[in-house]
Amino acid sequence: MAPIPGSGLAKGLAVTLRTMTKKTVTEQYPDVLPDLPPRTRGVIGLFEENCTVCMLCARECPDWCIYIDSHKETVPAATPGGRERSRNVLDRFAIDFSLCMYCGICIEVCPFDALFWSPEFEYAETDIRELTHERDKLREWMWTVPAPPALDPGAEEPKEIAAARKTAEKLAATLAEPTEPTRPTGTTGTTEATESTGQTGPTEPTKPAGPTGPTEPTRPTGTTGPTGPTEPTGPTDPQGGQS
């Protein structure tokens, strides 16, 4: 059947009239930023303190766009007689976002919660080499990762949070305990409490014990003092007389 002349125009006008009464959905980006869901796959953030360089993410990445370098370090024994341990130290962690297909496998397989999705998406570059984000840049993305959604009411408390809460409670209880004042060693008896006047003045300085003068030597008991010189006697008479 041949189309009725002017029917196309009428259809177009009908569409125009319909959409005129609807709320607009066009977003004025970049003047107005889009309101994205918190779990949007924008960019990957690295929390390197959690990374043990297990290489699982790099091995599982279907695009082979995660680059990790590390070296081994010997950790001395924690206790005397213990064994030394060796651990991996991260030297390089980079993701090439020009290859990444945002599948999220690396984040899923990381056993130590070192990788997270951030909703940030404004990192377009004019040079493709700039799309390889090194460790420092990946770390900066971490600060844009939103907090995890709240748990369902009645859900079991996560183990990490329960352990942290118990430690904080123990510490608070220890700090709240009144500590008994210790008596300084070398003092005897109780000291009389002084009346509190609300304001204590400076205490009078005690006079330092001055040097004592030389003491007279005491004569040891049982001994007699030195006797003076005796007068010399004259020569004796060889005949028995005394001159």
Which amino acids are annotated as binding site for [4Fe-4S] cluster, given as ranges? Answer: 51, 54, 57, 61, 100, 103, 106, 110
Residue keyed to tokens 């918190």: 38
Residue 54 binds ligand SF4 (CB under 6 A): yes
For residues 179-218, which are near ligand SF4 according to CB under 6 A? Answer: none
Taking the complex as a whole, the smallest distance from the CB of residue 54 to ligand SF4 amounts, in Å, to 4
Buried b / exposed e along 148-162 (16+ C-beta atoms within 10 A): eeeeeeeeeeeeeee
Strand order in the sheet with 85-96: 66-75, 85-96, 132-133
Taking the complex as a whole, the smallest distance from the CB of residue 176 to ligand SF4 amounts, in Å, to 39
Nearer to ligand SF4, 160 or 237 (CB): 160
Considering only residues 42, 43, 57, 118, which one is a binding residue for ligand SF4 as defined by CB under 6 A? 57
Considering only residues 43, 65, 138, 145, which one is a binding residue for ligand SF4 as defined by CB under 6 A? 65
Taking the complex as a whole, the smallest distance from the CB of residue 7 to ligand SF4 amounts, in Å, to 50
Which token pair is 234? 């004259």
Nearer to ligand SF4, 132 or 146 (CB): 132
Nearer to ligand SF4, 19 or 50 (CB): 50
Instruction: Report d(CA 146, CA 119) in Å as an integer.
Output: 8
Residue 95 binds ligand SF4 (CB under 6 A): yes
Neighbour tally for 44: CB within 10 Å: 23
Taking the complex as a whole, the smallest distance from the CB of residue 107 to ligand SF4 amounts, in Å, to 7
Q: Collect all residues with Cβ–Cβ distance below 8 Å to 87 and sequence separation of at least 6.
A: 52, 72, 73, 75
Per-residue x/- mask for ligand SF4, residues 98 to 127, rule CB under 6 A? Answer: --xxxxxxx---x-x-xx------------
Q: In angstroms, how far is CA 238 from the centroid of its own chain?
A: 112
Residue keyed to tokens 């994205």: 36
Phi, psi angles (nearest 5°) of residue 69:
-125, 145
Q: Which residues bind ligand SF4 (CB under 6 A)?
A: 51-57, 61-63, 65-66, 68, 95, 100-106, 110, 112, 114-115
